[in-house]
Structure 1
Amino acid sequence: MVVPSSTVALVGLFLVGVVLVIWCVEIFIEAVAQSAVSLGVSGFFLAVVLAGVDLENAVLGITAAFVELPRLALGTVFGESLFVLAVAVGLAGVLVPFRMDVPSAYLVLLVLVPVPAFALSIGGTIDPLEGAALLGLFVPLLAYIFWHERRSETTYLLSAELQEVVDLEADAESEAAVQTGAETETGMPNGGDESRVQPTGESDPELDLDLDEFVPSFEHRSGLFNLGVAVLAVVGMTVGSGVTVVSAEGIFVAFGISGLAFGATVLSFIASIEELALTVEPVRQSRPELAVGNVVGSTVFYLTANVGIIAMLHPVGTGGDVLTVHWPFLAGSLLVVTAMLARGRVTRIGGIALFALYVAYWIANYA
């Protein structure tokens, strides 16, 4: 089949838009983090907030809902949630099987956090008022995680791209220990607990999935300058997300697929690539607690605030494939991940099972 040149152009615009969004989000995170350090805002609190918020997904989902494509927006929620659980955790399990003791409170949270959104989905529609309730639920959940971290010995909240920023607040002795290869948990206000971090495999080849090399450093800039850069990054995100959503609509119309399926597979897959870095890299560097923090924070955000904001902008239909395809696969992946974390072991067999679930999810979307 010959693909029309107009469709090729739409695909090109789509990719340009996604890359622009991701790049602007990286700049935004770097600028906000550095401005917080410069202005004296707690780096730990900043890490707590940003670790649980996937800005790429939020921007794309909000734009899709704003232009009245709520099914595309909802697809990104399911797609990115499944990507984090099945692909990111699965790849970590396959490459670097590891052991760790995850607090039971976070295991319970992983299992229960989808319940409110699922209960609202049974009715066939999540309306703006119900969306506001889901958004409101995100705040106390985030506050609970923050409270739990403040009273625990090991931090599970720091995302990989923020580690350097929080490390700026560490004392000189801790920084020296890191430079000499000592296993010191710098950047964590309550220290580390080696008994909870027990990698089981040998060191794997270097796997650098971080995109920081494409982001300029704002370390020596003033706080106000960095805030200005953050504002410009928001403008770039808006332009990029607009291009992405408009071209995505043309693509799934041209190929005769649903916006829900496209958002849950293609759009989410491309926009989520960096989640591999946030999950696999900490595990490879013997810091799996950071990966767990990313999984917990992202899952809480996707299934409360993200769904809530989308529904507030436009009522979301949750019948049909949402109940028969997307929720079952999300529940299955979540249960597999939670079961492995509850046993304290993420294994290669478990990682392969998660990959198989994700492949089946793609097939179910296009069957």
Structure 2
Amino acid sequence: MTAALAVGAFLLGVVVVVWSTERLLEGMVGLAALLRAAPFVIAVIFSGLEAENVAVGVVAARSGHTEIALGTVFGGGSFLVCVALGLAAVLFPLRVRLPRGVLVLLAVTPMAGGLALIGGTSSRLAGAALLIIFVGGMAYLVRVSRRHDFFGEDAAEVREAAQRPGRWWRPVGLTVLGLAVITAGAELVNYGADSLIQRFSFPATLMGMVITPAAIEAEEVIRQAVPSREGRHDVAAGNLVGTLIYFVLFNLGLIALVAPVAVPHHVVVLDWPFLIGVTWLATAFLWRGRLTRWHGATLLLLYAGYATTHVLLGT
């Protein structure tokens, strides 16, 4: 395969999974409207669910691409917290008061990911445990939504989407279409990434932990920035909390359960601790009820150091 075809396959795969995810999310929101689901549940579960991340991670694990599979969890989580949240805060500072229990859940989530790292191989038992914790965490968030107007009156579009009845066949069709096309896109991403690694000798760790997560999760910057720009700070915070829970508990749990992978040493000593550290830092900022431009710049600088470390490790 030529370099142009490898790059083309990788970029096309990214475009396909992003596009199909939007169709899937639109379908699921429509299904939630038909089922009369709570607006908070729509915002956290449907905004947090990164189906393309799940698809790429599972396909990569089954194909033996360990770095990419774990990169969708740890690299993706670090990109979310540092780049998506950090850049959004630099552009539009975040002000939101979250329930203390939600902030504790946010801080504990990356620590739970260590269950899949024990013993050098992600075990199916650990995967099952993470999925159980995921269900418990989501149940807690649903319970919180009953006591709090989590997203306030500003999230008009979320509420409107939740209440719009629509025709039943449209959301069902979009959901099925999204799931089908996402899988094809994930295959392209992995095929292109594997070809790039072999042709250009990109370090597998750099490709798995930095390049691929950044390409797949680039849309998260928009998902964080746009709500803040429009004054919907609760929506932006909900996207952060929900997405990180999906990455670490659901994605990693599914990978460990479906296709256990060997855990590289750098994941244990660098990627996992880094995700814990930046998540704790972001939680500390949010504990005070705001995330300023300086806070966002700090997160971005930390990510630059993280990416640079992976570049140096690969040389």
Does the pair score TM above 0.5? yes
Pairs within 5 Å for 1:1-367: 6-37=2-33, 39-42=34-37, 44=39, 45-155=41-151, 164=157, 166-168=159-161, 222-367=167-312
- Over 3 Å counting, the alpha-carbon distance change for 1:290 and 1:165 in structure 2 is closer
Q: CA deviation at 1:354?
A: 0.6
Q: Determine if contact 2:130/2:252 at 8 Å carries over to the other structure.
A: yes
1-side partners of 2:262 and 2:278: how far apart?
23
2-side partners of 1:296 and 1:169: how far apart?
20
Superposed CA offset, 1:177-201 (max 9, x none):
xxxxxxxxxxxxxxxxxxxxxxxxx
Q: Which amino acid aligns with 2:160?
A: D
Q: CA deviation at 1:345?
A: 2.3
| Structure 2 residues without counterparts, runs of 5 or longer | none
Superposed CA offset, 1:307-365 (max 9, x none):
01111122222241102221232122112211111122211221111111111111111
1-side partners of 2:5 and 2:233: how far apart?
41
Moved over 4 A (4+): none
Specify the alignment match of 1:212 in structure 2. Answer: none
Superposed CA offset, 1:202-226 (max 9, x none):
xxxxxxxxxxxxxxxxx89631243
Tell me, what secondary structure is at the counterpart of 1:318? coil
Q: Which amino acid aligns with 1:68?
A: G
Tell me, what secondary structure is at the counterpart of 1:12? helix
Question: How many pairs align?
Answer: 310
- Over 3 Å counting, the alpha-carbon distance change for 1:342 and 1:46 in structure 2 is closer
2-side partners of 1:47 and 1:344: how far apart?
20
Q: Which amino acid aligns with 1:289?
A: D
Q: Determine if contact 1:33/1:165 at 8 Å carries over to the other structure.
A: no
1-side partners of 2:235 and 2:147: how far apart?
17
1-side partners of 2:279 and 2:236: how far apart?
15
Q: Determine if contact 1:70/1:315 at 8 Å carries over to the other structure.
A: no
Q: CA deviation at 1:258?
A: 4.0
2-side partners of 1:133 and 1:258: how far apart?
32
| Structure 1 residues without counterparts, runs of 5 or longer | 171-218
2-side partners of 1:61 and 1:225: how far apart?
28
When the two chains are superposed, the root-mean-square deviation of aligned CA atoms in Å is: 2.2
- Over 3 Å counting, the alpha-carbon distance change for 1:169 and 1:331 in structure 2 is closer
Q: Which amino acid aligns with 2:168?
A: G
Q: State, as a whole percentage, how many aligned pairs show the same letter.
A: 34
Q: CA deviation at 1:169?
A: 5.2
**Based on CA coordinates, which of the two structures has the bigger radius of gyration?**
1
Q: Which amino acid aligns with 2:295?
A: G
Q: Which amino acid aligns with 1:330?
A: L
2-side partners of 1:99 and 1:48: how far apart?
18
1-side partners of 2:183 and 2:245: how far apart?
24
1-side partners of 2:161 and 2:46: how far apart?
17
Q: Determine if contact 2:116/2:127 at 8 Å carries over to the other structure.
A: no
Q: TM-score with structure 2 length normalisation?
A: 0.90
1-side partners of 2:274 and 2:232: how far apart?
28
- Between stretches 79-88 and 221-230, larger displacement belongs to 221-230
2-side partners of 1:328 and 1:278: how far apart?
25
Specify the alignment match of 1:191 in structure 2. Answer: none
Q: Determine if contact 2:127/2:252 at 8 Å carries over to the other structure.
A: yes
- Between stretches 53-62 and 310-319, larger displacement belongs to 310-319
Q: Which amino acid aligns with 1:353?
A: T
2-side partners of 1:297 and 1:220: how far apart?
25
Q: CA deviation at 1:232?
A: 2.2
Tell me, what secondary structure is at the counterpart of 2:119? coil
